[in-house]
Amino acid sequence: MNTNRSTAPFRYLTNLEDSFRLIRVVAIGIMILSVAFAAGVAWWAFDAVEKSREKIYVLDGSKSLTLALAQDMNVNRQAEAKDHIRAFHRLFFNLDPDETAIDAHIREAAYYGDASVMRLYSDLREKGYFSQLIQGNVIQKVEVDSIALTGSQSPFTIRTYARQLLVRANTITTRRLVTECNLIDIDRSDNNSHGFMIERLKVLENLDLETITRD
């Protein structure tokens, strides 16, 4: 009996030391897990912020928001180049028989290219092309069929294959339109959201394909 009583305090101390050791292990484990969790949250937050910085929103002509990646512009540069060309052709070749409307379209199209755009406009004007549209009450529309792009980055060489529709009161004439130009990078602006400039624009082909009578 005396022996058990003399050893009891030692057993109590041993159990107490084991308990403290267990508490320390648990506390250290909790600290490690907390640090790991905090590091994970910090990494997730940093990654989310970086991804958000890679995205910008550009307001296009149809008043819709288009998502663009800002970090690596070359990823979608070819697609932007083709869209720039389509937009230019719509502005330059979609014409109503109204001098004010024609002038407004040409002024906007001029932001898409260099002096070669205005030279083409001047040549057509001197030949009386726009006067004929107005006097004949002709509506001109363009439909881009395909765009052949050479090069993986600016400067690009572009050849555009399209159809022109000349809508008159009694007939519709379809023309084959082929244009060629170079495309170089410039700073983006409100008037040129793609950041491209058309150079050395020329019409390679503009031939009548057919004329049909309207019902």
Q: 């529309």: which residue's tokens?
A: 141
Q: 128: Cβ–Cβ under 8 A, 6 or more apart, which residues?
A: none
Please provide the distance, in angstroms rounded to a whole number, between the alpha carbons at the two ends of the chain: 123
Burial class of residue 85 (count of CB atoms within 10 Å of its CB; 0-12, 13-18, 19+): buried
What is the residue type of 49? V
Mark out the alpha helices in the chain (DSSP H runs).
2-53, 77-93, 99-110, 115-126, 129-135
Res 175: pLDDT: 96
For residue 140, pLDDT over 60 is answered with yes
Any idea which of 6-10, 26-30, 31-35, 98-102 has the lowest mean pLDDT? Answer: 6-10
Res 215: pLDDT: 77
Res 170: pLDDT: 93
Give the alpha-carbon dihedral of 43, 44, 47, 48, to 10 degrees: -150
Q: Name the token pair of 46.
A: 């940093």
For residue 11, pLDDT over 90 is answered with no
Res 171: pLDDT: 96
For residue 1, pLDDT over 70 is answered with no
CATH topology for the 74-213 domain? Nuclear Transport Factor 2; Chain: A, (3.10.450)
**Residue 45 to residue 40: CA distance in whole angstroms:** 9
For residue 69, pLDDT over 50 is answered with no
**Residue 143 to residue 145: CA distance in whole angstroms:** 6
CB 113 within 8 A of CB 201: yes
CB 72 within 8 A of CB 80: no
Any idea which of 52-56, 75-79, 85-89 has the lowest mean pLDDT? Answer: 52-56
In the 3-class helix/strand/coil scheme, how is 68-85 assigned residue by residue? Answer: EECCCHHHHHHHHHHHHH
Question: Binning pLDDT at 50, 70 and 90, where does residue 22 land?
Answer: confident
Q: Select from 113, 65, 63 the least CA-distant residue to 92.
A: 113
For the segment 154-173, the average pLDDT, to the nearest whole number, is: 94
CA 189 to each of CA 168, 182, 203: distance values in angstroms, whole numbers, following the listed order: 37, 20, 27
The values of phi and psi at residue 139, to 5°, are: -100, 125
| Domain ranges, ordered by start, for the chain | 1-53, 74-213
Q: 């793609």: which residue's tokens?
A: 194
What is the pTM assigned to this prediction? 0.66
Q: Name the token pair of 25.
A: 């292990």
CB 209 within 8 A of CB 178: no
Res 2: pLDDT: 53
**Residue 44 to residue 41: CA distance in whole angstroms:** 5
Res 213: pLDDT: 94
For the segment 39-52, the average pLDDT, to the nearest whole number, is: 75
For residue 123, pLDDT over 50 is answered with yes
